[in-house]
Amino acid sequence: MACMSQPDFHAFRRGDSVPPFTIRVRADDARAYLAATGESEATASLWAEHAPPLAVGALLLAGLMDEVPLPAGAVHIGQDFEFVRPIPLGAEVDVRMTIAQQSVRGGQNVIVFGSELSCDGVVMMRGRTMVAAPAPVQEGAQ
C-alpha cells in the first residue's frame, strides 16, 4: 500500500477538502474534559449520556491537527459551532472538513475550515475553525 502524504497547510485553497476522519468521545474523555475545565459535579452529571459540546470541538481541532500538520507559528484564532443534535458518548463521529475561505492578510495565511460532523449519516454539528500561520516568503520577494 502506498504511503499517502499529508496535505500542506499553505497549499489549501477554497473548496479543497481535508481527508475525512472520525472522532469518538468516550465517558472517560468527557470526565477528563469536564475536570480540566473546572465543571462542578452537579454540572458534570448533565453529561452522563452525551458528549459535552466543546469537548467535541476540542477533539475536532485535535483531529484536524492529526490530518494537517500545522506550520511553525500557526495559531488557532477562532471557531464557531452549531450543535444540531446531542452526540451520544462513545458514538463514532464522521468528520468532513472543507476549506471555506483562504486568504493572505498582513503576512498571515488565514484558513477557515468548514466542518460537518455526523453519526450514521445524521448531521450532529456544523462549524468553522479559523487558523492563521505566517505565509511562506515568495522567492524573489523583497
**What pLDDT does residue 33 have?**
87
Alpha-carbon separation of residue 26 from 10, 47, 65 (angstroms) = 33, 11, 20
Q: How far apart are CA 60 and CA 13, in angstroms?
A: 20
**pTM recorded for the entire structure:** 0.86
Query: pLDDT by residue (tens digit) across 12-51?
Result: 999 999 999 999 999 898 888 888 888 876 777 778 899 9
**What pLDDT does residue 45 have?**
76
Q: How far apart are CA 5 and CA 2, in angstroms?
A: 9
